[in-house]
Amino acid sequence: RRKTGVGMSSIEEIYPISRADLDLVRAFPKGFLWGAATASYQIEGAIKEDGRGPSIWDEFSATPGKVFQGHTGEVATDHYHRVPEDIVLMKELGLSAYRFSIAWPRVLPQGRGAINAAGLDFYERLVDELLAHGIAPFVTLYHWDLPLSLHKVGGWTNRDTAYAFADYADIVTKRLGDRVANWITLNEPWCSAYLGYGCGIHAPGIQDRQAAFVAGHHLLLAHGLALPRMRANIKSVAQVGLSLNFTPTYASDEREETKRDTELTDLFVNQWFISPIAHGRYPEGLFEALEVTPPPMQDGDLELIGAPIDFLGVNNYTRDVIRGGTIPARPDESVKVGPVPGACYTEMGWEIHPQSFNELLLRLYHEYGMQALYITENGAAFKDTWNGDGVVHDPRRIAYIQEYLQAAAEAVEQGVPLRGYFTWSLLDNFEWAEGYSKRFGIVYVDYQTQRRIIKDSGHWYKALLSAHRDAS
Ligand SMILES: N#[N+]C[C@@H]1[C@@H](O)[C@H](O)[C@@H](O)[C@@H]2O[C@H]12
Protein backbone atom coordinates (compact mmCIF):
# COMPACT_ATOMS: atom_id res chain seq x y z
CA ARG A 1 0.00 0.00 0.00
CA ARG A 2 1.28 3.47 -0.87
CA LYS A 3 2.12 5.39 2.28
CA THR A 4 2.18 9.18 2.10
CA GLY A 5 1.96 11.62 4.94
CA VAL A 6 -0.17 10.05 7.64
CA GLY A 7 -0.94 7.01 5.58
CA MET A 8 -3.82 8.75 3.84
CA SER A 9 -3.53 6.71 0.73
CA SER A 10 -3.47 3.37 2.60
CA ILE A 11 -6.48 4.40 4.68
CA GLU A 12 -8.49 5.70 1.74
CA GLU A 13 -7.75 2.48 -0.16
CA ILE A 14 -9.25 0.47 2.71
CA TYR A 15 -12.32 2.55 3.34
CA PRO A 16 -13.33 5.98 2.12
CA ILE A 17 -12.93 8.13 5.19
CA SER A 18 -12.76 11.80 4.30
CA ARG A 19 -9.93 14.27 4.54
CA ALA A 20 -12.06 15.98 7.18
CA ASP A 21 -11.94 12.73 9.18
CA LEU A 22 -8.17 12.71 8.89
CA ASP A 23 -8.07 16.29 10.18
CA LEU A 24 -10.48 15.26 12.91
CA VAL A 25 -8.34 12.49 14.34
CA ARG A 26 -5.30 14.74 14.47
CA ALA A 27 -7.08 16.78 17.17
CA PHE A 28 -6.88 13.86 19.58
CA PRO A 29 -3.59 13.32 21.41
CA LYS A 30 -1.29 10.32 21.09
CA GLY A 31 -2.49 7.66 23.52
CA PHE A 32 -6.14 8.74 23.21
CA LEU A 33 -8.21 5.60 23.77
CA TRP A 34 -10.74 4.52 21.15
CA GLY A 35 -13.26 1.96 22.26
CA ALA A 36 -16.78 0.63 22.29
CA ALA A 37 -19.05 -0.05 25.25
CA THR A 38 -21.53 -2.72 26.32
CA ALA A 39 -23.23 -3.89 29.52
CA SER A 40 -23.72 -7.36 31.02
CA TYR A 41 -27.51 -7.64 30.98
CA GLN A 42 -27.71 -6.16 27.49
CA ILE A 43 -25.38 -8.64 25.76
CA GLU A 44 -24.53 -11.71 27.89
CA GLY A 45 -27.66 -13.85 27.99
CA ALA A 46 -27.09 -17.11 29.94
CA ILE A 47 -29.07 -15.62 32.82
CA LYS A 48 -29.48 -18.99 34.54
CA GLU A 49 -26.12 -20.50 33.65
CA ASP A 50 -23.07 -21.42 35.73
CA GLY A 51 -24.50 -20.31 39.04
CA ARG A 52 -25.66 -16.79 38.10
CA GLY A 53 -28.37 -15.54 40.44
CA PRO A 54 -31.42 -13.58 39.25
CA SER A 55 -31.29 -9.80 38.86
CA ILE A 56 -34.00 -7.15 39.03
CA TRP A 57 -33.91 -6.95 35.22
CA ASP A 58 -34.60 -10.69 34.94
CA GLU A 59 -37.77 -10.19 36.98
CA PHE A 60 -38.72 -6.84 35.43
CA SER A 61 -38.34 -7.90 31.79
CA ALA A 62 -40.32 -11.09 32.48
CA THR A 63 -43.20 -8.97 33.83
CA PRO A 64 -45.85 -8.48 31.11
CA GLY A 65 -46.09 -4.93 29.80
CA LYS A 66 -42.75 -3.68 31.08
CA VAL A 67 -40.56 -4.24 28.01
CA PHE A 68 -41.31 -3.86 24.29
CA GLN A 69 -43.09 -7.01 23.04
CA GLY A 70 -42.02 -8.85 26.20
CA HIS A 71 -38.36 -8.96 25.16
CA THR A 72 -35.91 -10.12 27.86
CA GLY A 73 -32.15 -10.46 28.33
CA GLU A 74 -32.45 -14.24 28.60
CA VAL A 75 -30.37 -14.76 25.45
CA ALA A 76 -29.50 -11.19 24.36
CA THR A 77 -26.52 -11.46 21.97
CA ASP A 78 -25.36 -14.72 23.61
CA HIS A 79 -22.07 -13.01 24.39
CA TYR A 80 -21.57 -15.33 27.38
CA HIS A 81 -20.89 -18.14 24.87
CA ARG A 82 -19.18 -15.99 22.22
CA VAL A 83 -16.43 -14.09 24.01
CA PRO A 84 -13.54 -15.31 21.81
CA GLU A 85 -15.29 -14.39 18.54
CA ASP A 86 -16.46 -11.05 19.91
CA ILE A 87 -12.95 -10.15 21.00
CA VAL A 88 -11.64 -11.06 17.55
CA LEU A 89 -14.29 -8.65 16.24
CA MET A 90 -13.00 -5.91 18.59
CA LYS A 91 -9.46 -6.57 17.35
CA GLU A 92 -10.68 -6.44 13.75
CA LEU A 93 -12.19 -3.03 14.50
CA GLY A 94 -8.88 -1.87 15.96
CA LEU A 95 -10.29 -0.96 19.38
CA SER A 96 -7.66 0.04 21.93
CA ALA A 97 -10.13 -0.34 24.80
CA TYR A 98 -13.39 -2.12 25.55
CA ARG A 99 -15.87 -1.04 28.23
CA PHE A 100 -18.07 -3.79 29.65
CA SER A 101 -19.85 -4.43 32.92
CA ILE A 102 -19.68 -7.27 35.40
CA ALA A 103 -23.00 -8.81 36.42
CA TRP A 104 -23.09 -8.59 40.22
CA PRO A 105 -25.44 -11.63 40.45
CA ARG A 106 -23.00 -13.70 38.38
CA VAL A 107 -20.31 -13.12 41.04
CA LEU A 108 -22.56 -13.04 44.14
CA PRO A 109 -25.82 -14.84 43.27
CA GLN A 110 -27.48 -13.59 46.46
CA GLY A 111 -25.86 -10.18 46.25
CA ARG A 112 -23.65 -10.94 49.23
CA GLY A 113 -22.21 -14.01 50.95
CA ALA A 114 -21.25 -17.03 48.83
CA ILE A 115 -19.07 -16.22 45.82
CA ASN A 116 -19.88 -17.99 42.55
CA ALA A 117 -16.43 -19.08 41.36
CA ALA A 118 -17.70 -19.74 37.81
CA GLY A 119 -18.85 -16.14 37.60
CA LEU A 120 -15.49 -14.67 38.60
CA ASP A 121 -13.75 -17.19 36.32
CA PHE A 122 -15.84 -15.98 33.36
CA TYR A 123 -14.75 -12.38 33.84
CA GLU A 124 -11.14 -13.39 34.43
CA ARG A 125 -11.13 -15.23 31.09
CA LEU A 126 -12.73 -12.21 29.41
CA VAL A 127 -10.12 -9.82 30.83
CA ASP A 128 -7.20 -12.13 29.99
CA GLU A 129 -8.48 -12.55 26.41
CA LEU A 130 -8.78 -8.77 26.00
CA LEU A 131 -5.25 -8.23 27.31
CA ALA A 132 -3.92 -10.97 25.04
CA HIS A 133 -5.36 -9.00 22.11
CA GLY A 134 -3.91 -5.70 23.30
CA ILE A 135 -7.30 -4.26 24.24
CA ALA A 136 -7.52 -2.34 27.54
CA PRO A 137 -10.46 -3.46 29.72
CA PHE A 138 -12.63 -0.68 31.20
CA VAL A 139 -14.73 -2.49 33.81
CA THR A 140 -18.05 -1.13 35.08
CA LEU A 141 -19.03 -2.80 38.35
CA TYR A 142 -22.71 -1.83 38.26
CA HIS A 143 -24.71 -1.36 35.08
CA TRP A 144 -28.21 -1.83 36.56
CA ASP A 145 -28.48 -5.63 37.10
CA LEU A 146 -28.91 -5.56 40.89
CA PRO A 147 -29.16 -9.05 42.48
CA LEU A 148 -32.86 -9.73 43.02
CA SER A 149 -32.26 -10.92 46.58
CA LEU A 150 -31.06 -7.43 47.54
CA HIS A 151 -34.14 -5.91 45.94
CA LYS A 152 -36.29 -8.18 48.10
CA VAL A 153 -34.91 -6.36 51.16
CA GLY A 154 -35.30 -2.85 49.71
CA GLY A 155 -32.71 -2.70 46.98
CA TRP A 156 -31.20 0.76 46.63
CA THR A 157 -33.68 2.21 49.12
CA ASN A 158 -31.92 0.08 51.76
CA ARG A 159 -28.67 1.66 53.00
CA ASP A 160 -27.22 -1.84 53.49
CA THR A 161 -27.13 -2.29 49.70
CA ALA A 162 -24.40 0.35 49.54
CA TYR A 163 -22.30 -1.74 51.92
CA ALA A 164 -23.07 -4.90 49.94
CA PHE A 165 -21.85 -3.10 46.79
CA ALA A 166 -18.57 -2.15 48.50
CA ASP A 167 -18.04 -5.81 49.49
CA TYR A 168 -18.77 -6.89 45.90
CA ALA A 169 -16.32 -4.27 44.57
CA ASP A 170 -13.70 -5.55 47.02
CA ILE A 171 -14.14 -9.15 45.83
CA VAL A 172 -13.91 -8.28 42.13
CA THR A 173 -10.90 -5.96 42.48
CA LYS A 174 -9.10 -8.49 44.67
CA ARG A 175 -9.44 -10.95 41.79
CA LEU A 176 -8.82 -8.63 38.81
CA GLY A 177 -7.02 -5.66 40.32
CA ASP A 178 -3.63 -7.02 39.25
CA ARG A 179 -4.49 -6.70 35.55
CA VAL A 180 -7.42 -4.26 35.10
CA ALA A 181 -6.27 -0.64 35.23
CA ASN A 182 -9.56 1.16 34.51
CA TRP A 183 -12.54 0.89 36.83
CA ILE A 184 -15.99 2.44 36.80
CA THR A 185 -18.04 1.98 39.98
CA LEU A 186 -21.52 2.92 38.70
CA ASN A 187 -23.11 3.49 35.34
CA GLU A 188 -25.69 6.30 35.24
CA PRO A 189 -26.95 6.20 38.85
CA TRP A 190 -29.49 8.85 37.77
CA CYS A 191 -31.19 6.19 35.65
CA SER A 192 -30.98 3.55 38.38
CA ALA A 193 -32.51 5.97 40.87
CA TYR A 194 -35.10 7.89 38.84
CA LEU A 195 -36.08 5.45 36.08
CA GLY A 196 -35.98 2.55 38.54
CA TYR A 197 -37.59 4.09 41.64
CA GLY A 198 -39.06 7.44 40.51
CA CYS A 199 -41.02 6.95 37.30
CA GLY A 200 -40.66 3.16 37.25
CA ILE A 201 -40.00 2.60 33.53
CA HIS A 202 -36.88 0.62 34.44
CA ALA A 203 -36.30 -2.14 36.99
CA PRO A 204 -37.42 -2.49 39.73
CA GLY A 205 -40.40 -0.45 38.41
CA ILE A 206 -41.20 1.63 41.49
CA GLN A 207 -43.04 4.96 41.10
CA ASP A 208 -42.08 7.03 44.14
CA ARG A 209 -40.08 10.27 43.83
CA GLN A 210 -39.01 10.23 47.45
CA ALA A 211 -37.75 6.66 47.06
CA ALA A 212 -35.78 7.78 43.99
CA PHE A 213 -33.82 10.29 46.07
CA VAL A 214 -33.23 7.77 48.85
CA ALA A 215 -31.99 5.28 46.24
CA GLY A 216 -29.87 7.96 44.60
CA HIS A 217 -28.14 8.71 47.88
CA HIS A 218 -27.40 5.05 48.53
CA LEU A 219 -26.02 4.64 45.01
CA LEU A 220 -23.68 7.56 45.64
CA LEU A 221 -22.79 6.12 49.04
CA ALA A 222 -22.04 2.77 47.37
CA HIS A 223 -19.61 4.57 45.07
CA GLY A 224 -17.98 6.35 48.01
CA LEU A 225 -17.68 3.21 50.15
CA ALA A 226 -16.24 1.22 47.26
CA LEU A 227 -13.52 3.73 46.31
CA PRO A 228 -11.05 3.02 49.16
CA ARG A 229 -11.73 -0.73 49.04
CA MET A 230 -10.97 -0.79 45.31
CA ARG A 231 -7.88 1.40 45.62
CA ALA A 232 -6.45 -1.04 48.16
CA ASN A 233 -6.70 -3.87 45.60
CA ILE A 234 -5.70 -2.24 42.31
CA LYS A 235 -2.30 -1.10 41.08
CA SER A 236 -1.14 2.39 41.99
CA VAL A 237 -1.24 3.35 38.31
CA ALA A 238 -4.83 2.15 37.94
CA GLN A 239 -7.70 4.61 37.84
CA VAL A 240 -11.23 4.68 39.24
CA GLY A 241 -14.17 6.82 38.18
CA LEU A 242 -17.88 6.58 37.47
CA SER A 243 -20.07 7.19 34.41
CA LEU A 244 -22.78 9.84 34.68
CA ASN A 245 -25.41 10.63 32.06
CA PHE A 246 -26.03 14.20 31.02
CA THR A 247 -28.69 15.77 28.80
CA PRO A 248 -27.96 19.49 28.45
CA THR A 249 -31.12 21.62 28.73
CA TYR A 250 -31.83 24.69 26.61
CA ALA A 251 -34.61 27.29 26.90
CA SER A 252 -36.95 27.36 23.90
CA ASP A 253 -37.51 31.11 24.28
CA GLU A 254 -36.38 34.15 26.29
CA ARG A 255 -39.36 34.29 28.65
CA GLU A 256 -38.44 34.34 32.36
CA GLU A 257 -40.66 31.33 33.04
CA THR A 258 -38.90 29.38 30.34
CA LYS A 259 -35.46 30.21 31.76
CA ARG A 260 -36.69 29.25 35.25
CA ASP A 261 -38.07 25.88 34.15
CA THR A 262 -34.96 25.19 32.10
CA GLU A 263 -32.73 25.86 35.11
CA LEU A 264 -34.87 23.61 37.34
CA THR A 265 -34.72 20.82 34.75
CA ASP A 266 -30.93 21.20 34.55
CA LEU A 267 -30.76 20.88 38.34
CA PHE A 268 -32.67 17.60 38.22
CA VAL A 269 -31.26 16.04 35.05
CA ASN A 270 -27.63 17.21 35.13
CA GLN A 271 -26.60 18.41 38.58
CA TRP A 272 -28.17 15.84 40.95
CA PHE A 273 -25.21 13.43 40.88
CA ILE A 274 -22.24 15.44 39.62
CA SER A 275 -22.63 17.99 42.41
CA PRO A 276 -22.11 15.51 45.31
CA ILE A 277 -19.27 13.84 43.35
CA ALA A 278 -17.49 17.07 42.41
CA HIS A 279 -18.46 19.39 45.25
CA GLY A 280 -19.45 17.02 48.08
CA ARG A 281 -22.96 18.48 48.33
CA TYR A 282 -26.35 18.25 46.64
CA PRO A 283 -27.19 21.19 44.40
CA GLU A 284 -29.04 24.04 46.08
CA GLY A 285 -32.82 23.83 45.55
CA LEU A 286 -32.92 20.30 44.14
CA PHE A 287 -35.10 18.70 46.78
CA GLU A 288 -37.45 21.68 46.98
CA ALA A 289 -37.86 21.69 43.18
CA LEU A 290 -38.79 18.02 43.19
CA GLU A 291 -41.01 18.45 46.27
CA VAL A 292 -39.14 15.75 48.21
CA THR A 293 -37.36 15.82 51.56
CA PRO A 294 -33.60 15.35 51.67
CA PRO A 295 -32.75 11.63 51.77
CA PRO A 296 -31.62 10.31 55.16
CA MET A 297 -27.85 10.56 55.37
CA GLN A 298 -25.26 10.02 58.08
CA ASP A 299 -22.31 12.15 59.10
CA GLY A 300 -19.47 11.47 56.71
CA ASP A 301 -21.61 10.30 53.79
CA LEU A 302 -20.96 13.38 51.64
CA GLU A 303 -17.24 13.31 52.39
CA LEU A 304 -17.09 9.68 51.21
CA ILE A 305 -19.14 10.51 48.11
CA GLY A 306 -17.06 13.56 47.26
CA ALA A 307 -13.71 11.78 47.56
CA PRO A 308 -11.49 12.40 44.53
CA ILE A 309 -12.02 10.28 41.44
CA ASP A 310 -9.36 9.77 38.76
CA PHE A 311 -11.71 10.46 35.86
CA LEU A 312 -15.34 11.16 35.05
CA GLY A 313 -17.10 8.97 32.52
CA VAL A 314 -19.47 11.09 30.42
CA ASN A 315 -22.51 9.49 28.77
CA ASN A 316 -24.24 11.87 26.36
CA TYR A 317 -26.53 11.39 23.37
CA THR A 318 -28.70 14.44 22.96
CA ARG A 319 -30.09 17.62 24.50
CA ASP A 320 -33.53 18.75 25.72
CA VAL A 321 -35.25 22.01 24.75
CA ILE A 322 -37.58 23.26 27.50
CA ARG A 323 -40.66 25.49 27.31
CA GLY A 324 -41.72 27.35 30.46
CA GLY A 325 -45.22 27.41 31.95
CA THR A 326 -46.85 30.23 33.94
CA ILE A 327 -46.09 28.33 37.17
CA PRO A 328 -42.86 26.39 37.86
CA ALA A 329 -43.16 22.94 36.31
CA ARG A 330 -41.77 20.24 38.62
CA PRO A 331 -38.50 19.38 36.84
CA ASP A 332 -39.46 15.75 36.31
CA GLU A 333 -42.53 16.99 34.44
CA SER A 334 -41.00 19.95 32.58
CA VAL A 335 -42.28 20.50 29.06
CA LYS A 336 -39.77 19.33 26.49
CA VAL A 337 -40.22 21.02 23.12
CA GLY A 338 -39.87 19.09 19.91
CA PRO A 339 -39.39 18.60 17.08
CA VAL A 340 -37.10 21.59 16.85
CA PRO A 341 -37.42 23.16 13.37
CA GLY A 342 -34.59 21.96 11.15
CA ALA A 343 -33.26 19.47 13.71
CA CYS A 344 -32.52 15.79 13.02
CA TYR A 345 -33.46 12.98 15.36
CA THR A 346 -32.42 9.40 16.07
CA GLU A 347 -34.76 6.41 16.38
CA MET A 348 -34.94 7.15 20.12
CA GLY A 349 -36.51 10.52 19.30
CA TRP A 350 -33.33 12.23 20.53
CA GLU A 351 -32.23 15.42 18.84
CA ILE A 352 -28.80 15.25 17.21
CA HIS A 353 -27.07 18.31 18.63
CA PRO A 354 -23.26 18.07 18.83
CA GLN A 355 -22.89 21.68 19.96
CA SER A 356 -24.49 20.79 23.29
CA PHE A 357 -21.95 17.96 23.63
CA ASN A 358 -19.12 20.46 23.23
CA GLU A 359 -20.69 22.83 25.75
CA LEU A 360 -21.24 19.96 28.20
CA LEU A 361 -17.57 18.94 28.08
CA LEU A 362 -16.48 22.54 28.67
CA ARG A 363 -18.90 22.82 31.60
CA LEU A 364 -17.65 19.63 33.25
CA TYR A 365 -14.09 20.92 33.01
CA HIS A 366 -14.64 24.54 34.00
CA GLU A 367 -17.61 24.34 36.37
CA TYR A 368 -16.96 20.95 37.97
CA GLY A 369 -13.18 20.88 37.69
CA MET A 370 -12.95 17.44 36.13
CA GLN A 371 -9.25 16.84 35.44
CA ALA A 372 -9.75 13.78 33.22
CA LEU A 373 -12.78 12.83 31.13
CA TYR A 374 -13.67 9.79 29.05
CA ILE A 375 -16.70 9.69 26.82
CA THR A 376 -17.91 6.33 28.12
CA GLU A 377 -21.05 6.38 25.95
CA ASN A 378 -22.06 8.20 22.79
CA GLY A 379 -23.90 6.78 19.81
CA ALA A 380 -27.21 6.57 18.03
CA ALA A 381 -30.04 4.21 17.20
CA PHE A 382 -31.21 4.15 13.61
CA LYS A 383 -33.39 1.76 11.60
CA ASP A 384 -30.59 -0.56 10.43
CA THR A 385 -31.62 -3.24 7.94
CA TRP A 386 -29.67 -6.25 6.75
CA ASN A 387 -30.35 -8.04 3.49
CA GLY A 388 -28.63 -11.29 4.46
CA ASP A 389 -25.20 -10.62 2.96
CA GLY A 390 -22.17 -9.09 4.67
CA VAL A 391 -23.21 -5.45 4.46
CA VAL A 392 -25.27 -3.11 6.63
CA HIS A 393 -25.38 0.49 5.44
CA ASP A 394 -25.79 3.01 8.28
CA PRO A 395 -24.64 6.40 6.94
CA ARG A 396 -26.61 8.32 9.56
CA ARG A 397 -24.67 6.64 12.38
CA ILE A 398 -21.37 7.56 10.70
CA ALA A 399 -22.56 11.15 10.37
CA TYR A 400 -23.71 11.21 14.00
CA ILE A 401 -20.36 9.97 15.33
CA GLN A 402 -18.44 12.31 13.00
CA GLU A 403 -20.39 15.33 14.26
CA TYR A 404 -20.05 14.40 17.94
CA LEU A 405 -16.34 13.63 17.56
CA GLN A 406 -15.91 17.01 15.85
CA ALA A 407 -17.53 18.63 18.88
CA ALA A 408 -15.25 16.62 21.19
CA ALA A 409 -12.20 17.61 19.13
CA GLU A 410 -13.12 21.26 19.54
CA ALA A 411 -13.38 20.72 23.30
CA VAL A 412 -9.90 19.16 23.29
CA GLU A 413 -8.58 22.18 21.38
CA GLN A 414 -10.29 24.37 24.01
CA GLY A 415 -8.29 22.60 26.71
CA VAL A 416 -10.69 19.91 27.94
CA PRO A 417 -8.67 16.90 29.25
CA LEU A 418 -10.48 14.26 27.21
CA ARG A 419 -8.66 10.92 27.37
CA GLY A 420 -10.85 8.56 25.36
CA TYR A 421 -14.07 7.84 23.47
CA PHE A 422 -16.28 4.73 23.70
CA THR A 423 -19.08 4.54 21.21
CA TRP A 424 -22.34 2.98 22.38
CA SER A 425 -22.41 0.28 21.36
CA LEU A 426 -20.13 -2.47 20.06
CA LEU A 427 -23.11 -4.70 19.28
CA ASP A 428 -26.83 -4.19 18.76
CA ASN A 429 -28.24 -5.34 22.08
CA PHE A 430 -31.13 -5.40 24.60
CA GLU A 431 -32.12 -1.74 24.86
CA TRP A 432 -33.86 -1.96 28.25
CA ALA A 433 -37.57 -1.04 28.03
CA GLU A 434 -37.21 -0.81 24.23
CA GLY A 435 -36.08 -4.41 24.05
CA TYR A 436 -34.37 -5.30 20.75
CA SER A 437 -36.33 -2.72 18.79
CA LYS A 438 -33.52 -0.17 18.94
CA ARG A 439 -30.12 -0.86 17.37
CA PHE A 440 -27.11 1.16 18.64
CA GLY A 441 -24.30 -1.12 17.51
CA ILE A 442 -21.50 -0.49 15.04
CA VAL A 443 -21.90 -4.23 14.57
CA TYR A 444 -25.29 -5.60 13.51
CA VAL A 445 -26.64 -8.66 15.35
CA ASP A 446 -29.04 -10.98 13.52
CA TYR A 447 -30.87 -12.26 16.60
CA GLN A 448 -32.24 -15.30 14.74
CA THR A 449 -28.75 -16.67 14.15
CA GLN A 450 -26.60 -14.48 16.47
CA ARG A 451 -24.50 -13.68 13.41
CA ARG A 452 -22.45 -10.51 13.73
CA ILE A 453 -22.14 -8.23 10.67
CA ILE A 454 -19.86 -5.20 10.86
CA LYS A 455 -21.91 -2.19 9.74
CA ASP A 456 -20.47 0.52 7.48
CA SER A 457 -20.05 2.57 10.69
CA GLY A 458 -17.85 -0.20 12.10
CA HIS A 459 -15.67 -0.19 8.99
CA TRP A 460 -15.51 3.59 9.10
CA TYR A 461 -14.65 3.60 12.83
CA LYS A 462 -11.88 1.07 12.14
CA ALA A 463 -10.40 3.31 9.42
CA LEU A 464 -10.66 6.35 11.71
CA LEU A 465 -8.84 4.53 14.53
CA SER A 466 -6.18 3.38 12.10
CA ALA A 467 -5.74 6.94 10.85
CA HIS A 468 -5.30 8.13 14.44
CA ARG A 469 -2.62 5.51 15.05
CA ASP A 470 -0.85 6.56 11.84
CA ALA A 471 -1.08 10.24 12.78
CA SER A 472 0.16 9.74 16.34
N1 LIG B 1 -30.95 4.42 25.68
N2 LIG B 1 -29.98 4.15 25.45
C3 LIG B 1 -28.68 3.80 25.09
C4 LIG B 1 -27.76 3.59 26.33
C5 LIG B 1 -28.14 2.34 27.13
O6 LIG B 1 -28.19 1.20 26.27
C7 LIG B 1 -27.04 2.17 28.18
O8 LIG B 1 -27.17 0.93 28.87
C9 LIG B 1 -27.16 3.30 29.22
O10 LIG B 1 -25.94 3.32 29.96
C11 LIG B 1 -27.44 4.66 28.58
O12 LIG B 1 -28.73 4.91 28.18
C13 LIG B 1 -27.82 4.80 27.24
- Rounded to whole angstroms, how far apart are CA atoms 208 and 213? 9
The CA-based angle 411-357-428, given to 5 degrees, is 120
User: Is 129 designated active site?
Assistant: no
Residue 424 Cβ < 6 Å to ligand 1:
yes
What residues contact residue 342 under an 8 Å CB cut-off, 6+ apart? none
Asked if residues 184 and 422 have their Cβ atoms less than 8 Å apart, the reply is no
Q: Could you report the per-residue pLDDT of 409-432, keeping only the tens digit for each?
A: 999 999 999 999 999 999 999 999
Question: What does the pLDDT read at residue 9?
Answer: 45
What's the CA-to-centroid distance between 246 and ligand 1, angstroms?
A: 12
pLDDT at 1 over 60: no
Asked if residues 67 and 61 have their Cβ atoms less than 8 Å apart, the reply is yes
φ and ψ at residue 175, rounded to 5 degrees:
-80, -40
- Rounded to whole angstroms, how far apart are CA atoms 188 and 270? 11
Whether the bond between 339 and the residue before it is cis, its omega within 30 degrees of 0, is: yes
Residue 145 Cβ < 6 Å to ligand 1:
no
Q: Could you report the per-residue pLDDT of 372-411, keeping only the tens digit for each?
A: 999 999 999 999 999 999 899 999 999 999 999 999 999 9
Cα dist from 46 to 37, 119, 172, 201, 252, whole Å: 19, 11, 20, 24, 46
| Alpha helices (H) along 108-232 | 117-132, 148-151, 160-176, 189-190, 209-231
Q: What share of the chain is helix, strand, coil (3-state, %, to 5)?
A: 45, 15, 40
List, in sequence order, every beta strand (DSSP E) within 246-395. 249-251, 311-315, 320-323, 335-336, 373-378
Question: What does the pLDDT read at residue 15?
Answer: 59
Which residue is closest in CA terms to ligand 1's atom 2?
A: 431
Catalytic residue among 188, 263, 351, 431: 188
Question: What does the pLDDT read at residue 354?
Answer: 98
What's the CA-to-centroid distance between 36 and ligand 1, angstroms?
A: 13
Over residues 103-111, the mean pLDDT reads 98
- Looking only at the bridges linking them, the beta strands covering 335-336 and 320-323 are antiparallel
ipTM over the 0.85 cut-off: yes
Q: Which atom of ligand 1 lies closest to the CA of 243?
A: 10
Report field, pTM of the whole predicted structure over 0.90: yes
User: Is 377 designated active site?
Assistant: yes
Question: What does the pLDDT read at residue 16?
Answer: 66
pLDDT at 108 over 50: yes
Question: What does the pLDDT read at residue 17?
Answer: 82
Residue 188 Cβ < 6 Å to ligand 1:
yes
What's the CA-to-centroid distance between 73 and ligand 1, angstroms?
A: 14
Over residues 257-267, the mean pLDDT reads 97
Per-residue pLDDT band at 97 (split at 50, 70, 90): very high
Q: Could you report the per-residue pLDDT of 140-155, keeping only the tens digit for each?
A: 999 999 999 999 999 9
